């Protein structure tokens, strides 16, 4: 919903670092090493912190997503009209929290265009990077046919997992000139209607 290069995930990453450092009393180097291992072993830092250290997942999510959106996300005045022109039902499927997703959607003035938000709490213990998360998400939205659905994401691996589950995929890639991705690509969410037309054809 916002440009990859906006710095939102860098800001969240800094909050993750601070959360671990403050709660586990680790050095900066130790935090970096731990984060890399947990992400590799458990697919998410949050899950690893909960399993190995008993960290409360809700406390973690609330802390790391408490960032200043106004300093990071550029306005996108064209986006409401773009989403309004797409009649299909739209859902947010996120590895973050409903709180963060709603803040972003309100900031961009597009919250009313989405039926619901499926967040990290709904798909726990999985993440969007895992195929097991998709059946959970589908149950939450009434079990539509995957073939009738499209996953739009800026992570190539997530788009690939969605396609493995039978969905169509659109990769929002900030550098669409990159080769090697076997997906329909657009450079910004503002090209979504065009991408959907390409899938239809």
pLDDT attached to residue 200: 86
pLDDT of residue 5: 83
The whole-number pLDDT of residue 175 equals: 66
Domain boundary assignment for the chain? 4-69, 75-200
Q: Which residues of the chain have pLDDT under 70?
A: 174-181
**C-alpha torsion sign, points 31, 12, 45, 169:** negative
What pLDDT is attached to residue 97? 87
Q: What pLDDT was estimated at residue 176?
A: 56
- pLDDT score for 45: 92
- Token duo for residue 85: 């022109």
The pLDDT score that the predictor gives to residue 182 is: 72
Q: Which fold has domain 4-69?
A: DNA polymerase; domain 1 (1.10.150)
Task: From residue 88, give the alpha-carbon distance in Å to each of 101, 176, 187, 190.
Answer: 20, 25, 21, 16
pLDDT at position 201 is 81
- Select the CATH number that applies to the domain covering 75-200 from these four: 3.40.50.1000, 1.20.120.1080, 3.40.50.720, 1.10.1040.10: 3.40.50.1000
96 φ, ψ (degrees, to nearest 5): -100, -155
Peptide bond preceding 164: is omega within 30 degrees of 0, i.e. cis?
Answer: no
Distances (CA, A) of 170 to 71, 111, 139, 147: 28, 21, 22, 14
- Euclidean distance between CA atoms 138 and 24, whole angstroms: 36
**SS3 assignment, position 88:** coil
Number of neighbours of residue 138 by Cβ within 10 angstroms: 18
pLDDT at residue number 177: 60
Answer yes or no: same fold for 4-69 and 75-200. no
At residue 148, the pLDDT reads 95
Nearest-10 crossing angle of helices 133-140, 156-164: 70
């Amino acid at each position: 919903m916002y440009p990859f290069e906006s710095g939102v995930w860098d800001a969240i990453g800094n909050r993750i670092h601070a959360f671990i450092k403050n709660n586990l009393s680790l050095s900066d180097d130790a935090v970096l090493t731990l984060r890399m291992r947990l992400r590799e072993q458990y697919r998410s830092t949050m899950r690893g912190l909960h399993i190995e250290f008993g960290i409360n997942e809700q406390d973690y999510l609330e802390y790391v997503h408490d960032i200043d959106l106004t300093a990071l996300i550029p306005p996108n005045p064209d986006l409401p009209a773009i989403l309004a022109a797409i009649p299909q039902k739209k859902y947010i499927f996120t590895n973050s929290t409903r709180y963060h997703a709603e803040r972003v959607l309100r900031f961009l003035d597009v919250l009313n265009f989405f039926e619901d938000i499926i967040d990290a709490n709904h798909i726990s213990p999985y993440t969007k990077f895992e195929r097991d998360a998709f059946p959970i998400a589908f149950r939450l939205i009434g079990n539509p046919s995957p073939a009738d659905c499209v996953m739009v994401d800026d992570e190539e691996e997530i788009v690939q997992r969605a396609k493995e589950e039978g969905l169509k995929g659109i990769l929002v890639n900030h550098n669409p000139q990159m080769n090697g991705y076997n997906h329909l690509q657009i450079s910004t969410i503002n090209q979504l209607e065009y991408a959907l037309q390409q899938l239809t054809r």
